[in-house]
Amino acid sequence: MIHSIPEFLEWQRQQRIYWGLRRRYWLYGPEGLCRWLYARMIHGERRLNLEQPTSFCDKLNWLKFHYHLPELKIFADKLAVRSHVAERLGPEWLIPLLGVYARPEEIPWDELPEAFVLKATHGSAMNVLCPDKSRLDRGLATRRLRRWLRRDFYRYGMEWCYQGLPRRILCETFLRGEDGQSPWDYKVLCFGGEPRIVWVDVDRHTRHQRAYFDADWNRLSCGSSWYEATGADFPRPPQLDRMLAAARTLSAGYPFMRVDFYVVSGRLIFGEITLYPGGGFEPFRPLSFDEEVGSWIRLPEANA
């Protein structure tokens, strides 16, 4: 049940997105849907090329349809990936786990700490951030979680790794940066197991901005089709070498992988693994740089 105007408007927006995608899926099929989404995201400046992929977005979408290894689903599952990271890097790299629930009704709200995060394990951007439990609208959080658990995230962008994942709710400790809010998010893009780009996301829940660096922490003159670039100064993190080494360990043997980390009180913490950033619809700007980044991905033999 919906109990506020903003919640109703958000529900309407999600329904328009869902049914718009379903209609185009029925009309064009999965590859046709991805071509349509890509053209819509970049305003028709370029067509998605799945027959002879060259750009970063081309190759991410090719991997969706032609590169299906069972372990890719482990990487996408926010609960299962924890065991993989603990085995490869050690349990100290993980955000402390507070609970796993099949339904929102199982969440023991009164037993949770004053700050925590709830995540749906089967997709992306389905998170309830709670920095202060006394201000949390439990009813709204419950309704959002129910809605997310009903959502087949695969249908939003044909990201194969999400298809058929079990749907659960994960509860983790709320991480705080130096300002008391969410810490900076370091995302390491690895090509064939080698880190080549690190981007930093800041103010993700207010005014989302991003900066790009190479593996030696030289600033790159590129941007995103979706987010504002920031000219703010980002000093080289003291933990950069360990971060890159951890990303190499997790991404070794795969054509492309993005590995995310946080730095909290000087400690490196694993965030998540992403196989198709932006669903494969967020090209680098300028588009010539998207082509250059695409040249770094060596596509494997198709296995699907």
Amino acid at 169: I
Task: Give the pLDDT score at 15.
Answer: 67
Domain final residue, candidates 159, 174, 189:
174
Residue 3 has pLDDT above 70, yes or no: no
Alpha-carbon span 126 to 146, nearest angstrom: 11
> Please, what is the angle between helix 56-66 and helix 287-294, to 10°?
50
As given in the structure block, the two tokens for residue 98 are: 């507070």
pLDDT of residue 153: 93
Domain membership of residue 227 (yes or no) is yes
Q: Is the domain of 80 the same as that of 202?
A: yes
* 1 compared with 152, residue with greater pLDDT: 152
Phi-psi region of 265 (alpha: psi -120 to 50; beta: other; left: phi over 0): left
Same domain, 160 and 79: no
Q: Are 118 and 127 in contact (CB under 8 A)?
A: yes
Between 110 and 23, whose confidence is greater? Answer: 110
Q: What is the pLDDT of residues 32-68, one digit of tens each?
A: 889 988 988 887 889 999 999 999 999 999 999 999 9
Statement to judge: residues 138 and 247 lie in one domain:
no
- Judge contact between 37 and 50, C-beta under 8 A: no
What tokens appear for 39 in the block? 């053209």
What average pLDDT does the segment 234-251 reach?
96
My answer on whether 205 and 290 are in the same domain is yes
- Could you tell me if 157 and 304 lie in one domain? no
Structural domain includes residue 302: yes
Under a CB-based contact definition with an 8 Å cutoff, are residues 93 and 85 in contact? yes
Q: Based on the structure, what is the number of domains in the chain?
A: 2
84 and 219 inside one domain = yes
- Dig out the tokens for 133 from the structure: 């439990």
Does residue 63 form part of some domain? no
User: What average pLDDT is seen over the chain?
Assistant: 90
77 and 226 assigned to the same domain: yes
Give the pLDDT band (50/70/90) at residue 2.
very low
One domain for residues 152 and 186: no
- Whether 240 and 195 map to the same domain: the answer is yes
**pLDDT at residue 204, as a whole number:** 58
**Which CATH number does the domain housing residue 192 bear?**
3.30.470
What's the pLDDT band for 182 if we cut at 50, 70, 90? Answer: confident
Q: Give residue 165's domain range.
A: 96-174
Together in a domain, 104 and 253: no
Residue 124 located in a structural domain: yes
Q: Is 89 within the bounds of a domain?
A: yes
Residue that finishes a domain, picked among 174, 197, 223: 174
Tokens of 164: 């058929």
Q: For residue 21, is it within any domain? A: no
| Same domain, yes or no: 205 and 166 | no
Query: Looking at 123-127, 165-169, 295-299, which range is the least confident one?
Result: 123-127
Identify residue 82 by its one-letter amino acid code: R
> What's the pLDDT score for residue 1?
45
0.85 exceeded by pTM: yes
> What percent of the chain stands above pLDDT 90?
72
Q: Band the pLDDT of 207: cuts 50, 70, 90.
A: low
Q: Is residue 49 part of a domain?
A: no
Return the closest-CA partner of residue 65 out of 29, 36, 41. Answer: 29
- Same domain for 233 and 87? yes
